[in-house]
Structure 1
Amino acid sequence: MNTSLSKILILCAAVLWGTTGTAQALASSEAHSVAIGAVRLAVGGLSLLAACLIQKKKVDVDVRRLPILPLTVAAASMAAYQPLFFSAVIKTGVAVGTMVAIGSAPLLSGVLNYIVYSKKPTKKWLLATFTGILGCCCLLLKKDSQIDVIGLGMAIGAGASFACYTTVNKKIVQYVDPQVGASLVFTTAAVLLIPCWFMYDMSWLVSLNGIGIALHLGILTTALAYVLFSTALKSVHASTAVTLSLAEPVTAFLLGVFLLGESLTLVNICGAVLVFVSLAFLTYSPKSSLNQEVHI
Structure 2
Amino acid sequence: MQYESVDQFLKSGQAALAKGPVALIFAEDNVELNSTLRHHLKLGFRSVIAFMPQGFEIDADLESDIHRVTFTCAPRSVVFDTINQIGQAAPGLWTYYCYNAEYLFFPFCETRSVGEMLAFHTEERRPAMLTHVVDLYADDLTTFPNGVSPDRAMLDRTGYYAHTRHDATGQPIDRQLDMSGGLRWRFEDHIPYERRRIDRIALFKSRKGLTLLPDHSFNEPEYNTYACPWHHNLTAAICSFRAAKALKTNAGSTFDIPSFRWRNSVEFQWTSRQLLDLGLMEPGQWF
TM-score, normalised via structure 1 length: 0.28
> Higher relative contact order at CA 8 Å, sep ≥6: structure 1 or structure 2?
1
Tell me which protein shows more helix as a share of its residues: 1
From the two aligned structures, give the one with the greater strand fraction.
2
- When normalised by structure 2's length, the TM-score is 0.29
